Amino acid sequence: MRAALLLGLFLSLCGCATDGGHVSDSIDALMRDYTGEVPGAAVLVLRDGRALVRRGYGLAELEAGTPVTPQTHFRLASVSKQFTAAAVLLLVAEGKLGLDQPARRWLPALPPAADAITLRHLLTHTSGLLDYEDLMDPADARQVRDADVLRLLQAEDRTYFPPGSAYRYSNSGYALLALIVERASGRRYADFLRERIFVPLGMNAVAYEAGISDVPHRAYGYSERGGRWVRTDQSPTSAALGDGGIYASIDDLARWDAALYDERLLPRALLEQAFAPATPTDDPEVAYGFGWRITGETVWHSGETIGFRNVLVRYPQRRLTVAVLTNRDDPEPYALAKRIAALAIGARE
């Protein structure tokens, strides 16, 4: 019995479970374009809490020839939003925040047009807030942080629509949520994530702040220009944390995924709210919860920023999860992750 358990643990950790050989070979074929001396990818397939596939492809840093491994940290971009939502829900569970509290209770500098905006509106992209990217000075190359987002918005006494009346994806809303977490908890946002989510779950993830924190085993972002790969790792929006500033590995995401099946992090009732379709979106097949998109049996989120394209897709009823993290500007890997999931589902059936 002990030998069998040790074998199962070894197979889980190395990503070579006994029923996954054919799936692994098929995934290798799908990942051919990420293999070799090119910007790479990390792929995770979890089934029943075990790693069916856990491997890296290509390079995390072209200049140094550093390979991608399961420990390589990619900038998650908007996959970060589920962590911001979880931080809010942790404070809701403690009675320090309320989902229907006005955002201006915590951020009084917001203009009067934001009076009716609640935390629930921010979580579900129904606030109508202006996109901060459209308010930035294109001649100013300095990076915008979450506090700068508030400064940009407070000068604009208007919204796209009355709060709660429509859906429009909003990076502004999640940057403000990071500030609200700071004010309600009395902790810097990056510290709150580390102390309340990352460390308790055994994650090495980082809400990255240049000059303050370091990213272990860091992947750098690239874009193809004129037939060659050029490093495009940072942009003026790369320093905002609440909407997309977390770096994590597939090993981190495996620990995160496990915590979403039980109450080690959040009460079941709040987890169910996060995964519930709170609002329709601009895609008739997709609803939005709190930091999660909902499509059929899946809850998922993609992340796109300069030099990185990522996706995390969960099939909770099947106990199946697929993550694809890449350090290149194109292509978007959602369709690839769904193909990988189909292989895993087909192998079981």
H/E run at residue 118: none
Residue 78 bears catalytic tag: yes
At 163, list the tokens. Answer: 């709060």
CA distance 118 to 270: 17
Check if the beta carbon of residue 244 is closer than 8 Å to that of residue 303. yes
Active-site annotation holder among 12, 78, 80, 238: 78
CA angle 111, 79, 9 (to 5 degrees): 150
Range 21-25, long-range pairs (CB < 8 A, 24+ positions): 22/347, 23/52, 23/53, 23/343, 23/344, 23/347, 24/52, 24/53, 24/55
Could you tell me the two tokens for 82?
């589920």
1: buried, middle or exposed (CB in 10 Å: 19+, 13-18, 0-12)?
A: exposed
Helix axis angle for 81-93 and 268-275, nearest 10°, is 140
Q: Which residue has the tokens 């051919």?
A: 32
CB 239 within 8 A of CB 75: no
Rg (CA), the chain: 20
The Cα–Cα gap between 194 and 298 comes to: 27
How far is CA 301 from each of CA 116, 153, 206, 225, 309, rounded to the nearest angstrom? 27, 26, 19, 27, 11
Which residues are paired to 157 by β-bridges?
none
Maximum distance among all Cα pairs of the chain, rounded to whole angstroms: 67
Catalytic residues: 78
